[in-house]
Copies of this chain bind each other. A is one copy, B any other.
Amino acid sequence: MSGQSFEVKTIAHIRTDLKEKFGIPRQSGLVKELGGCIIFEPPYRRGEAFRELEGFSHIWLLWIFTEAIRDGWQPTVRPPRLGGNKRAGVFATRSPFRPNPIGLSCVKLESIRTDEKYGIVLDVSGVDLLDNTPIIDIKPYIPFADSIPRASGGFADKHASHTLDVRVNEELLNRLPEEKRGALIGIISQDPRPAYKNEPERIYGFGFAGFEIKFKTDGQTAEIVDIINTDD
């Protein structure tokens, strides 16, 4: 069986407001307000394939780290949760640079609905996926098997609670559609900087939901300094 390989196919894509890597929450569920819409490939747009799914509050998404494919895998990586300068084995992390670049996310199932153009679509929240990520499987979250509250989470546990206080002028925030505001604050509160190097005067920028967002942070508080509509 050595060296055996298998082909997996895209069954769907997810649409999110995350257009670039910067700003993507480091795990699913961290930014509850961040939504996504899953659009299936034609063979899977059939109601019967989703029968009974409405009874589940959460689902697993298995997906492809498309950006990691070209870079291949590395035996060790520098997880941001270790400050970006200490190495951990790739199998001790959820890094994209794995032998098989498959991601695993648990998202909340908000609704199962029928779209005129795409047939059955799933609205979800708590996403950590780039816009247009290919999805290869959807599974129900089964709490009696999947939820282990007392599991120990190694180095990930130690840094789970690091968040930033986010400040923003109301007038500035009003440039964003109301339903995107909570998600933006959630993203920045998760400290999206690649490593915790404090450069309080540095302005970080990233694209979100058709806007260019600028902020700075001293490592405790973050201030949003500009929100520019880039769809115009």
A residues adjacent to B (C-beta < 8 A) = 1-11, 13, 27-30, 41-44, 46-60, 62, 64, 69, 75-76, 87-94, 98-100, 102, 104, 106, 132, 134, 136-157, 160
Question: Which of B41, B62, B94 sits near A142, CB closer than 8 Å?
Answer: B94
Contact assessment for B145 and A147 in the assembled complex, using a CB-CB cutoff below 8 Å: no
Within the complex, the shortest CB–CB distance from A207 to chain B, in Å, comes to 20
B residues near A93, Cβ cutoff 8 Å: 52, 140
CA distance A55 to B60 in the complex (A): 24
| 20 chain-A/chain-B pairs, Cβ below 8 angstroms | A1-B13, A1-B132, A4-B10, A5-B10, A6-B7, A7-B8, A11-B100, A29-B148, A43-B99, A49-B89, A50-B91, A52-B89, A52-B93, A55-B155, A60-B104, A91-B138, A94-B140, A144-B157, A146-B147, A149-B149
Known: A50-B91, A52-B88, A56-B92. 18 other contacts (CB 8 A): A2-B42, A3-B10, A4-B9, A5-B8, A11-B100, A50-B89, A51-B89, A56-B156, A58-B151, A99-B136, A100-B136, A140-B154, A141-B151, A142-B156, A144-B156, A144-B157, A147-B151, A149-B149
Contact assessment for A99 and B154 in the assembled complex, using a CB-CB cutoff below 8 Å: no
**A-B interface, 9 closest residue pairs, ranked by CB to CB distance from nearest:** A55-B154, A27-B145, A53-B92, A51-B89, A52-B88, A52-B92, A49-B75, A57-B152, A56-B154
B residues near A4, Cβ cutoff 8 Å: 9-10, 134
Contact assessment for B144 and A147 in the assembled complex, using a CB-CB cutoff below 8 Å: no
Contact assessment for B142 and A27 in the assembled complex, using a CB-CB cutoff below 8 Å: yes
B residues near A51, Cβ cutoff 8 Å: 76, 87-89, 92
Main secondary structure of the interface of A (DSSP, over half): mixed
Contact assessment for B144 and A153 in the assembled complex, using a CB-CB cutoff below 8 Å: yes
Within the complex, the shortest CB–CB distance from A126 to chain B, in Å, comes to 9
Question: Which of B6, B76, B89, B90 sits near A8, CB closer than 8 Å?
Answer: B6
CA distance A192 to B57 in the complex (A): 27
